[in-house]
Amino acid sequence: MDIDQKAVILEINKATIILENIINHFNKYLPLDEEEKLALTSRLTERKIKRRQFLLQEGDVCKSFTYVQSGCFKMYGVDDKGVEHNLAFAVEDDWISDIGSLHKEQPSKLFIEAIEPSVVLQLSKGDLWYLYINYPKFDRNFRVIIEDKYIELQDRLLQTVSATALNRYESFINQYPQLSNRLPSTQIASYLGVTPEFLSKIKNERFKK
């Protein structure tokens, strides 16, 4: 076996290892059989994304459903004054997409931007539909995935309208302890719905106690 062949095999192994993550992801729900695994993995496109690079920009139609293999993204809207409002973060082993724009093929109001250098696996709308039509298990699995996201979102809305900024901050730290270390405070402030200045004040008061 010459050096070139070895290089090819290394590449294949690396790809296999990467795809193992998404396969394992489905093991949390209804595990895929060999045929389904192949149907899925053969349709995934791997992309490396740099810090500050966009997966989606306001006005564009969202074209794919994205699995985060490694790294971190934020999804946010920008108001009339130009202020960003973070709706969601996604780190490794999570999905991110503007589902509304993807489904209805309408221009998105949102941005999806890498906060860290990242690797993603993407499914185009057509491929996703193909999987839904030919392998009902994907209907099931994505139903459960989106139900979980719905539950999270509803919880968050309740918090947003009924709790103070301090409470929201403490809930965030409890719910996402890893994220609260990993992300800059400005991004957390934008997620909590306060200015960085006010978050700074909150942290200070919390520390004094």
Partner DNA sequence: CTTAGCTCTTAAACTACATTAAGGGTATTT
Partner DNA sequence: AAATACCCTTAATGTAGTTTAAGAGCTAAG
Closest separation in Å from C-beta 73 to DNA: 14
Q: Which of 100, 107, 126, 177 binds a copy of itself (CB under 8 A)?
A: 100
Cα–Cα distance for residue pair 12/130, rounded to 1 Å: 25
- If one asks whether residue 186 binds DNA (CB under 7 A), the answer comes out as yes
For the sheet with 110-114, list strands across it: 54-56, 110-114, 72-78, 84-91
- Please, which residues have CB within 8 angstroms of residue 53's CB and are 6 or more apart in sequence? 113, 114
Cα–Cα distance for residue pair 163/207, rounded to 1 Å: 20
Q: Which stretch binds a copy of itself (CB under 8 A): 7-15, 36-44, 64-72, 135-143?
A: 135-143
Q: Which of 19, 30, 61, 165 binds DNA (CB under 7 A)?
A: 165
Query: For the chain, give me the number of helices (H) and strands (E)?
Result: 9, 8
- Give 128 or 194: the residue with its C-beta nearer to DNA: 194
Q: Which of 16, 31, 153, 206 binds a copy of itself (CB under 8 A)?
A: 153
- Residues 156-175, one symbol each (x = binds a copy of itself by CB under 8 A, - = not), give xxx-xxxx------------
Would you state the structure tokens that stand for residue 81, as one six-digit string? 């004054």
Residues near DNA (CB under 7 A): 51, 81, 83, 164-166, 184-186, 193-201, 203-204
